[in-house]
Amino acid sequence: MKLYADRLPTAIRQLLTDLLVVLWIYLWIRVALWISDTVEKLAVPGQKLESAGAGIADNLADAGSKVGRVPVVGDELTKPLTGAADAARAISDAGQQQQDLVGQLALIIPAIAVAVPLAIVLLLWLPLRLRWMRRAGVAAAVRDDPAGRDLLALRALAGRPLGELSRLGPDIAQSWRAGDADAVDALAELELRSLGLRTR
């Protein structure tokens, strides 16, 4: 395959683009995992709050049951301890709710972090890649057929930049119209190279 001085061959550019897309997706997955780990650390205070609240509630409930055995005033002494135990359980529940919220955020935020780059890939890169694959597939199928080579030559005349066409000669279009086999082959090869294909 001939190289253009001002750019890489199409096949190499396609390969490099594919590698960059894979690297792009991999990096965003790593970023999403890092975000998830970072957000998960926000659950530590909730875990401590839940543990402390549960411990205080158990101790107060235990103390209330012991105080409740005191004759005459036991019931009166138990009420404040029971209320305090309920408040401690509410603190423990708040700690659990905070952990649940952090767990949801640890799923949602990384999902958004991955979804945006993936959407860019699916909406911008993938359609272009599929279009190139279709064009290259059709060109590969017709490149050995004389009529197909004539179509490739016509496609080159219609689509390639004037600078590339002028390198084939100042009268390349006229030679193609006259049916010059060398001109047809040169134009077909130019179109095949632009798609990253070789002539057989």
| Whole-number pLDDT of residue 84 | 86
Task: Please report the pLDDT score of residue 2 as a whole number.
Answer: 40
CB 184 within 8 A of CB 149: yes
List 4's β-bridge partners, or say none: 7
Token pair listed for 42 = 């926000």
Can you give the pLDDT at residue 28? 94
pLDDT at 7: 52
Instruction: Write down the H helix ranges in the chain.
Output: 10-41, 43-67, 74-120, 126-142, 146-159, 162-166, 172-177, 181-194
Per-residue confidence (pLDDT) for residue 34, from 0 to 100: 95
pTM of the model: 0.64
pLDDT of residue 74: 63
Cβ contact 110:32 at 8 Å? yes
pLDDT in single tens digits along all 200 residues of the chain: 343 434 567 778 888 888 999 999 999 999 999 999 999 998 898 888 888 888 888 888 888 777 777 776 667 778 888 888 888 889 889 989 999 999 999 999 999 999 999 999 999 989 988 888 888 888 888 888 878 888 888 888 888 888 888 888 888 888 888 888 888 888 988 888 888 787 65
Residue type, 75: D
- Look at residue 6 in the predicted model and tell me its pLDDT: 42
Is the Cβ–Cβ distance between 99 and 151 less than 8 Å?
no
